Amino acid sequence: MAQTLNTKLLILGGGPGGYVAGIRAGQLGIDTVLVEGDRLGGTCLIRGCIPSKAMIHVASKFDAMAHAVGGSKDGIGLSVAPTLDMGQTVAWKEAIVDKLNGGVAALLKRGKVKVVHGWGRFTDAKTCVVDTAEGEVTIKAETVILAAGSVAAALPHIPFGGDVISSTEALSLPELPKRLAVIGAGYIGLELGSAFRKFGCEVTVVEALDRILPLYDDALTRPVKTWLEKAGVTLHLGAKATEWENNELLVEKGGETLRIPADKLLVTVGRKPRTQGWGLDQMGVDMAGAFVKVNDRMQTSMAGVYAIGDLVGEPMLEHKAAAQAHVAVETIAGQNRAFAPNAIAAVCFTEPEIVSCGLSPDEAKAAGIEAISAVFPFSANGRALSMEAGHGGGFTRVVARKSDHRVIGLQAVGQHVSELAGEFCMSIEMGAVLEDLAGTIHVHPTLSETVHEAALRALGHAIHI
């Protein structure tokens, strides 16, 4: 049965940008309707960040147990190899997703946000028609926030379907493939490729560039490459995937054609903003290439229409979308807000992990900044050694302007370094100088002590190296 709703604010998309916008709007007393065509939580919660980290966690546990068969150096030994029920693992992962999905729904309900489940399409900038299970719902709004997110990018000559899968399907496989081929050595390809290798799959990664993880410098990626090679992951760099036929991936490399047999082909060549299928072309907003163009208040060129998250540009990160949601809603509420972060941290959950915030030494040089940098190795950190994270070339690095010691970058590679991201980002956001990091008493024994030591080393008086 057709229905018409009138609202102050309409949010398209219930991902980390959209649902955070809804919750904040509820807190501010703004009459809000949120439209979601899938499950609340978006890519990150339902089929990306959370489920992938759950699978990576299980893979690491399985791998550690497998290496304990017959005894290990820390005294733990197993008499038989561990077994894996992939269906049960997937079910456990889905239980986590379900819990978080339910939490989002409860928070929106508490904020008195009306959620309309169904695929929405705009007929003009302020009118959205939603196909729901109960019939068509037309929503007329005074203000709109677009939070449509992104989708996995496909290769035109190797489309998704059958045994050609994206990360979404990879996280829900009922059984392990014996052989997995991965196109793309970015963070998604290597996070999942590493996890499947830990599960015992034969993994081959094909990358068109001559290096892995191109968003990070060589110093940060070297420990990851070392682990991949040691773990038996086959890397084909400077190689181009040309065809998939009869469960074989054809690859051009160095003038030769390689044939890589695989049970599944995981394509991870990036993500693109979801701009099709919901009426963006009817809204009259300006574009910035493939993305919706916005200003620092998240306003588009159409009055009363805002856009946030993956839809508006890189980096495509959950925490960026959530931060932009606050700016958009609070601007709508009449507050003086702007999205102007000094830095946005990014984490790669490979083996080992990488975290980066701000500028690397090379990026500082390219920007014309005379900088000083220093590295403190995990091999000299007690906490790292005590939890078997001191090997593999891990380190923390600080980058600062030479003129005033202002911290402009912090990076780390090693096990568990994702938990340093908060300190990294806070240091840059608050305008810390090297003396601030060096003068802050860091708890012992923790990995955070490497931040303190790196700052001391940059000042010329490191203690433990």
- Based on the number of CB atoms within 10 Å of its own CB, is 246 exposed (0-12), middle (13-18) or buried (19 or more)? exposed
With respect to CATH, is domain 346-458 assigned 3.40.50.300?
no
Query: Which pLDDT value is given to residue 74?
Result: 87
* C-beta of residue 152 within 8 angstroms of C-beta of residue 271: yes
CATH 3.50.50.60 occupies which residues in the chain?
3-150+273-332, 164-269
Alpha helix (H) residue ranges in 129-282: 167-170, 187-198, 218-231
Q: 285: which 2 tokens?
A: 């907003």
Regions of the chain where pLDDT drops below 50: none
Q: Which of 274, 303, 271, 272 is nearest to 286 (CA)?
A: 303
Phi-psi region of 279 (alpha: psi -120 to 50; beta: other; left: phi over 0): left
d(CA 195, CA 170): 11
444 carries an active-site annotation = yes
Distance CA 304, CA 283 (A): 11
**pLDDT on residue 267:** 97
- The rounded distance, in Å, linking the Cα atoms of 361 and 98 is 42
Which CATH architecture best describes the domain 164-269?
3-Layer(bba) Sandwich (3.50)
User: How far apart are alpha carbons 460 and 151 in whole angstroms?
Assistant: 47
Token pair 């958009």 is found at 328
Residue 88 sits at φ, ψ, to 5 deg, of -70, -35
Nearest to 251 by CA among 295, 197, 208: 208
- Residue ranges, comma separated, of all CATH 3.30.390.30 domains in the chain are 346-458
Q: Which CATH class is domain 3-150+273-332?
A: alpha beta
Active site residue: 57, 444, 452, 464, which one?
444
pLDDT score of 1: 58
Q: Is 167 helix (H, G, I), strand (E, B) or coil?
A: helix
Distance (Å, whole) CA 409 – CA 356 = 8
What pLDDT is stored for residue 37 in this prediction? Answer: 92
Report the C-alpha gap between 203 and 182 in whole angstroms: 7
Inter-residue contact 86 to 173 (CB < 8 Å): yes
Q: What is the pLDDT of residue 240?
A: 97
Helices (H), ranges, 82-186: 86-110, 167-170
